[in-house]
Structure 1
Amino acid sequence: MSATTVQNLKNAVKDFSIEETLAFLANEFKDKVVFSTSFGQEDQVITALIANNDLPITIFTLDTGRLFQETYDVFHKTLKKYQIDIKTYFPDTTAVQELLNKKGPNSFYESVENRKECCFIRKVAPLTKALNGNSIWITGLRAEQSENRNDLDLFEYDSNFDIIKFNPLLRWTLQEVEEYLEKNNVPQNTLHKKGFVSIGCAPCTRAITPDEDIRAGRWWWESSHKECGLHQK
């Protein structure tokens, strides 16, 4: 069923622009298309496309409780510029309290297992709630962001969340993203100008040097696949 739906979608939009595809999905899956933003550069492109075309797509974000102030700043600027609603999901208070009471505030530095536990509580569980009951999940994933995202497709069925993912910027380069943002005066996180390419929680993100991989600044103390569980690739 899902594989058939994915293929049908690929066929239906093969000659569409991104804007046309977004509009098609919003019409085909009324009130069941959602876009998750963390206010990074790719996400800001998609937010602008949705807002500028007045598309009936729900935009949401996950507030982990450990974000940079600069992320909140671009969140606020985005609301003001586009006059849109962005629904916010928070982690379960009891789960966060139990984690800190049991392991302290920085347990994620101690092991990959601990880090993934924190990511699950602060990101994966709220995401599960946000995606529940929806049909299409729009993401800002790009193939060049990491080696394990190279085999992503435009449309995919995500069995972890039982939903079809649409990755509209999959084949865009970082240069194309930056050019769109500048040309259209889209609000950006000021940390991008300070070497932060991929921005997550403050304790788990650092700036990178020009010769480092895009994801090197995320969980830099690990030699893992640099994913938190939101996307398995």
Structure 2
Amino acid sequence: MTDALPLVDLNASLEKQTPFEILEYAIDHYADLAISFSGAEDIVLVHMAKQIDPQIQVFSLDTGRLHPETYQYIELVRKTYKLNLEILFPDAGQVQSLVNKKGLFSFYEDNHQECCGIRKILPLQRKLQTLEAWVTGQRKDQSPGTRANIPVIQDDKHFAGAGRELTKFNPLANWSSRAVWDYIRANNLPYNPLHDRGFVSIGCEPCTRAVGPNQHEREGRWWWEEATKKECGLHASNIDK
């Protein structure tokens, strides 16, 4: 459903609320809503959302190129929270065509957008066509170049489709990485063991590496590409000018 209050005014109001309160608003106002789950921020959202709606929808993208630790973590979260966790897969024919044409590591030679488009964007697009709203763990401090101005609620025109409305919530937009990890530790939440090995922002195995002291977390993603455009397309509005 859409709210009578203009989105910009609603965002200004929700900006003053806690992530839990933003999630409460989202769950109360949208029947077909789901959380996109992959990492540390998302376990915080799942933990909060389960307290509001035990039947909350959660989905995760399996690109076929994730770390073994990530697969194990996804399964741990599914069992821990008794989730009906929907795993989204890419189209096998499209993956096969790309790999047969360009090999398994074409993204090192051109850019990551084509591979991400097939393995992540299209499966996400299919899922979002079934929803009124979705929830992400984006934070403003994750990437100064692409996420510094993300709102806590926005009209997702990129994935809405013709004649549809789709609302996107970013309840943790104003939290820092420290706030996320303080919450994880205070509530003894499970997390991906790769974090203990220096991986901060975790994506596909070939495109993710650990970061060193004083490096920004996004420096471990697509490190061979220009630093201010480190988005795979899941959050296209972040780089839409």
Normalised by the size of structure 2, how large is the TM-score?
0.88
1:229 to 225, 233, 238: 233
Partner in structure 2 of residue 63 of structure 1: 62
* Partner Cα separation in structure 2 for residue 11 and residue 191 of structure 1: 36
Structure 1, gaps ≥5 residues long: none
Superposition CA RMSD, Å: 2.0
Please report how far the alpha carbon of residue 11 of structure 1 lies from its aligned counterpart in structure 2 after TM superposition: 6.3
Please report how far the alpha carbon of residue 13 of structure 1 lies from its aligned counterpart in structure 2 after TM superposition: 4.5
Normalised by the size of structure 1, how large is the TM-score?
0.91
Aligned residue type for 2:105 = N
Q: Does residue 41 of structure 1 match 2:32? A: no
1:133 to 126, 130, 133: 130
Partner in structure 2 of residue 121 of structure 1: 118
Tell me, yes or no, if the aligned pair for 1:124 and 1:230 is still in contact at 8 Å: yes
* Partner Cα separation in structure 2 for residue 26 and residue 145 of structure 1: 25
Describe the SS at the equivalent of 1:74. helix
* Partner Cα separation in structure 1 for residue 141 and residue 57 of structure 2: 26
Comparing 102-111 with 51-60, greater Cα deviation is found at: 51-60
Deviations 1:148-175 (A, max 9, x none): 2111111111211122211100111111
Query: Runs of 4+ in structure 1 displaced over 4 angstroms?
Result: 1-5, 11-16
Q: 1:197 to 1:88 in 2, by over 3 A?
A: same
Please report how far the alpha carbon of residue 74 of structure 1 lies from its aligned counterpart in structure 2 after TM superposition: 1.1
1:220 to 196, 202, 223: 223
* Partner Cα separation in structure 2 for residue 12 and residue 213 of structure 1: 30
Aligned residue type for 2:107 = F
Partner in structure 1 of residue 196 of structure 2: 193
Structure 2, gaps ≥5 residues long: 161-165
* Partner Cα separation in structure 2 for residue 146 and residue 154 of structure 1: 16
* Partner Cα separation in structure 1 for residue 26 and residue 3 of structure 2: 15
Describe the SS at the equivalent of 1:60. strand
Please report how far the alpha carbon of residue 137 of structure 1 lies from its aligned counterpart in structure 2 after TM superposition: 1.4
Q: Does residue 205 of structure 1 match 2:208? A: yes
